[in-house]
Structure 1
């Protein structure tokens, strides 16, 4: 039986692993742990197909420990006892590394059966889970382990794995054949895999199986072949190309224009392309740029939705993302904040705005009074309504106005309040 492509090209070193640079990049914590050969009990938390098993294999090779694999969906306490029986034998001279996949399916008794051996160091546990370990792993195991969160793989990184897989197929299964794979096909498989390298590699393998060589020994994997292999519609979408920015532009303009139907449509395009990072970033920008002070709580709600989406991954991520989009599209709008900061930045870049007024300078050090720093400052909280009129802008721009209250209910309420307070000063 032929070994699956994903296993055949499984990385042997950390440098070959795609993604997870926040953990295994140069100088990052997990890489340092592995290279120092002092591996603690660990829990790898993240979606499927992002390198958890691969890195566990690399750790086993690096440490020289005997690697045992168990899947908690089918394993039992008896399986753990069988592993324990090998301890102190010739087969486990350097200890055992137990890779326990889907640990959330072990009950409390099963998880506790590992504790004694985790504590004496005879078993080094690397448990993996797609669920939040703080909810599904018992405290006794959790407190003896270091949790590492694995992220979805960026499509650009998945493309690298697919290109490496194509080279592997050329050198093995299709040696002597003229093999070509369209860039669009690689890009499509990377984008529709939702950050799962294994899924993308499986799609590539299916594409090759479904494409027999012609009489001239040529094999060509086209975009159409990739679409059939993934069973997902191809979108005109290139993260570094015009279509990417066109969709994002239409997405933001639809929200800004308060059209929830169009906004959800363009969200669906982005979701179909698997572009979670761009969606999340753009929603946070829109919260501040287009809704702004008209509904200042929006950014907090959107941040919660974004965090949920990043933790859930697709397909479930579409739900909090839709919630955020509809909230923003139907919220009152104000661009007063971005207009104010951009106007201030323009002055700083184009003119001499002058020095900070003396009474506003730091006075919390010896000698400040001799320099006249802070001596004439009026503390607003000492005055009625916590306000007193004094100059805050530098002399060169003392009468400049950057912020204009928006015409929405929230900002107009603030305007009425401050007009009343400042009228008597």
Structure 2
């Protein structure tokens, strides 16, 4: 039986929901169809948002021979078969190849397309749910235009579900589908922006719903919930979305927004990604809170250890404690700036030798090499401080640590100024 999603697949841009930033009036994909000058394109976005549909519509607007491959099961031999037909009379105007899930092609497979996409014999439209800048071979990427597809809104999905219900009624002729719009809104909300998933769930709901005394199909919220399962979550531990969520998680804590931080923690908890959460919290404690609240890392370490011992679902509690602590703590990035600037100098300039009096002198013959000679032992001086040069001569005036403006670092700054002034 043909899936309902295929039965109602749009055949023109006017029927497509969402992606108005690409297909709206006067927008780029609409203009491309109007001119019929189709470039090599890569469609990037989550599943079920219209990538395949729009590719099919574009293919229908050209006079090129159309081929469709899925990179999950296609091979170089499949591409060679298409190449062998390039001189065929049916391919005289060229070939348009739609390659779904291109991220599953390795470098060699992607390279096999290069010559033909460059000379125009093959026009490539590839789609991927992964960031193409990470997964598509650079030479092929440079010959293509990348278009990002966005998740569909609940309102967009409801429009398509209403269309699907109408299509079912037309097919069944004398049978009506009784379905409150709130049920369609639930199906849309539950799909996580994936239209195909919401239509598939609707189809299952229609098949399992009972008929009322009038012989009409009556859908209830209980049946819709039973057929939909858990709400879809757009998260892949190995995918692009993984890093997007982690990035938003850290930036929310850095921005002192406990609500945003807890939201992204919840996404990570839902995905069961305990290792990534714990690792990122330890990083944040040093990178973003740092010397403004040095004890934060100890507290976070205790929360992380507790979470690792507890496992989910209880791990969410100490993790939430750590997140709220960090989000509401004073912030300083002076430590990461200091080490990164020092590393930058090592990479870019000749920093020179360690001063002789700072070199190790704990071995026989060290004095003959002038090691340690002239070193001033700070504990022998007032306030355990004496002025002497510690940096190599080539960078003796370098300043790496710049204290942040917070209580802890202002106190440390005052102490350093005090001992230096007293010991002048």
TM-score range for the pair, normalised by the shorter chain length: 0.5 to 0.7
Displacement of 1:222 in angstroms is: 1.4
After TM superposition, the structure 1 = structure 2 runs for residues 189-338 of structure 1, keeping only pairs within 5 Å, are 189-232=187-230, 264=262, 327=323, 330-332=326-328
Q: Aligned equivalents of 1:147 and 1:70: distance in 2?
A: 19
**TM-score, L = length of structure 2:** 0.57
**Which residue of structure 2 lines up, in the alignment, with residue 23 of structure 1?**
22
Please state if 1:49 is matched with 2:48.
yes
**Which residue of structure 1 lines up, in the alignment, with residue 237 of structure 2?**
none
**Contact 1:192/1:232 (CA < 8 Å) preserved in 2?**
yes
Displacement of 1:410 in angstroms is: 4.1
Select the structure of larger CA radius of gyration.
2
**Which residue of structure 2 lines up, in the alignment, with residue 81 of structure 1?**
80
Displacement of 1:98 in angstroms is: 0.5
Q: Aligned equivalents of 2:128 and 2:257: distance in 1?
A: 39
Q: Which runs of 5+ in 1 are unaligned?
A: 235-254, 273-293, 296-321, 335-408, 418-425
Q: Aligned equivalents of 2:320 and 2:128: distance in 1?
A: 28
Provide the secondary structure at the position in 2 that maps to 1:55.
Answer: helix
Displacement of 1:134 in angstroms is: 0.9
**Which residue of structure 1 lines up, in the alignment, with residue 153 of structure 2?**
154
Displacement of 1:327 in angstroms is: 3.9
Q: Aligned equivalents of 2:85 and 2:204: distance in 1?
A: 40
Provide the secondary structure at the position in 1 that maps to 2:48.
Answer: coil
Displacement of 1:221 in angstroms is: 1.0
Provide the secondary structure at the position in 2 that maps to 1:63.
Answer: coil
Taking a change above 3 Å as real, the CA distance of residues 261 and 138 of structure 1, as seen in their structure-2 partners, is: closer
**Greater shift in the superposed pair: 52-61 or 81-90:** 81-90
**Which residue of structure 2 lines up, in the alignment, with residue 37 of structure 1?**
36
Provide the secondary structure at the position in 2 that maps to 1:43.
Answer: strand
**TM-score, L = length of structure 1:** 0.57
**Contact 1:260/1:325 (CA < 8 Å) preserved in 2?**
no
**Contact 1:65/1:96 (CA < 8 Å) preserved in 2?**
yes
Provide the secondary structure at the position in 1 that maps to 2:177.
Answer: strand
Displacement of 1:184 in angstroms is: 1.8
**Which residue of structure 1 lines up, in the alignment, with residue 11 of structure 2?**
12
Displacement of 1:69 in angstroms is: 0.9
Displacement of 1:13 in angstroms is: 1.1
Q: Aligned equivalents of 1:31 and 1:87: distance in 2?
A: 28
Q: Which runs of 5+ in 2 are unaligned?
A: 233-252, 271-291, 294-317, 331-404, 414-424
After TM superposition, the structure 1 = structure 2 runs for residues 368-383 of structure 1, keeping only pairs within 5 Å, are none
Displacement of 1:166 in angstroms is: 0.6
Please state if 1:126 is matched with 2:122.
no
**Contact 2:117/2:124 (CA < 8 Å) preserved in 1?**
yes
Q: Aligned equivalents of 1:325 and 1:193: distance in 2?
A: 30
Q: Aligned equivalents of 2:264 and 2:59: distance in 1?
A: 45
**Contact 1:263/1:326 (CA < 8 Å) preserved in 2?**
no
Displacement of 1:80 in angstroms is: 0.6
**Contact 1:264/1:326 (CA < 8 Å) preserved in 2?**
no
**Which residue of structure 2 lines up, in the alignment, with residue 242 of structure 1?**
none
| Cα-Cα RMSD | 3.7
Displacement of 1:333 in angstroms is: 7.8
